[in-house]
Structure 1
Amino acid sequence: MRSIAEMAISSTSRLFTTDNSLPNSSSSSQPVYMNYALISALIAFALAQSIKVFITCYKEHRWDPKRFLGSGGMPSSHSATVTALAVAVGLHDGIGSSTFATALILACVVMYDATGVRLQAGRQAEVLNQIVYELPAEHPLAESMPLHELLGHTPPQVIAGGLLGMMTSTIIYLISHSGNYT
């Protein structure tokens, strides 16, 4: 019978070998560029950020490439990213898997935070910027840089991001698995 130390060493050495495949896992040895969940999340993020640029262009009649990387706005790229990840994991590993449970809880925490703490922090930044703007010119804080106000998301922005993430992940899944059913 093996000792606990031998089993721990054996398990640890398996983690650091070049073949990271898990038992009963058919695709964990694929390269990272073939990782369906990762690709889905990255594409959902890129789509959400691109949509923000076009919405800004449409609403404000100006091109703002900073929106490609900025936070806040419609749709929530954070929500799109984590929702795409959760859906991809659910489709790939099954909704009964612990990886899906982990991804789902992560998505819920991120979306709750976006509409809670981050949204309130953005509103506080708005108020603080207004206070600083109204300070007399000789006040030491009058020349301070304004705080970033677009931090969080409204519930419709989070819902739109979540829907975008679900659609992105599902479409990529259908495309990547379309040849498997013939």
Structure 2
Amino acid sequence: MDEVAALSASLIQTSIPTSSSSSSSSSLFDNFPLVSAIVAFALAQSCKLFTTWYKEKRWDAKQLIGSGGMPSSHSATVTALATAIGLQDGFGGSLFATAMILACVVMYDAFGVRLQAGRQAEVLNQIVFELPDDHPLAETRPLRELLGHTPPQVIAGGLLGVLTAAIAYFIKKVISQA
């Protein structure tokens, strides 16, 4: 998620007019790729609330801010960003290429490194749980286990991101023609 924050900060900087003669009517809300990415993130996090309820028959508000789960908000965010950049500036430009590579790295990390780190946390938590009560590590706070995503969660997040950007682009076009 740090990569997404850094790219978002970079996009914010480039969208702010630098000369005094620039139009001041431009705002962050006019930044179509940024808005698409934020909306995709919010939708993915909201979906997690409902997928948890469906699977476990309980509401868990922590899903709105937690990592892991279905769909991947990391994937939704970066694919919405890349798709929106492609739709706005063209798919042949260097900005789209940069966003696409960022998306691939983030999605690979979500189901690769972070998923394995979560599985290691499960094993370590089980080992600590089985320690005798008098062991110095017996009172250790459990590690977070839900860090990464399975490939279906990453794919679902990616599809959600592409769909979000495409719908937002269509809405933007309809509004601009009105």
TM-score (ref. length: structure 1): 0.84
Two-structure CA RMSD over aligned residues (Å): 2.1
Change (3 A) 1:46 1:20: farther
Match of 1:102 in 2: 98
Tell me the residue number matched to 1:17: 18
Give the equivalent residue in structure 2 for 1:68: 64
SS in 2 for 1:177: helix
Change (3 A) 1:36 1:19: farther
Q: Which string of whole-angstrom CA distances, capped at 9 and with x for unpartnered residues, describes residues 102-139 of structure 1? A: 10000000000011100000000000000000000110
Counterpart check, 1:86 vs 2:76: no
Structure of higher CA gyration radius: 1
Give aligned-pair identity as a percent. 69
Q: Determine whether 1:163 maps to 2:163.
A: no
Partner of 1:59: 55
Deviating beyond 2 angstroms after TM superposition, the runs of 4 or more aligned structure 1 residues are 15-21, 179-182
Aligned length: 163
> C-alpha distance in 2, partners of 1:16/1:168?
27
Confirm whether residue 177 of structure 1 aligns to residue 150 of structure 2.
no
Gaps (5+ residues) in structure 1?
Answer: 1-14, 22-26
CA drift at 1:64:
0.8
**Which position in structure 1 is the counterpart of 2:40?**
44
Q: Secondary structure at the match of 1:145?
A: coil
Change (3 A) 1:181 1:156: same
Contiguous gaps of at least 5 residues in structure 2: 1-15
SS at match of 2:139: coil
97, 107, 113: which is aligned to 1:117?
113
Per the TM alignment, residue 178 of structure 1 is displaced from its structure 2 partner at its CA by 1.5
Q: Secondary structure at the match of 2:37?
A: helix
> 2:78 corresponds to which letter in structure 1?
V
- Residue 132 of structure 2 corresponds to residue 131 of structure 1: no
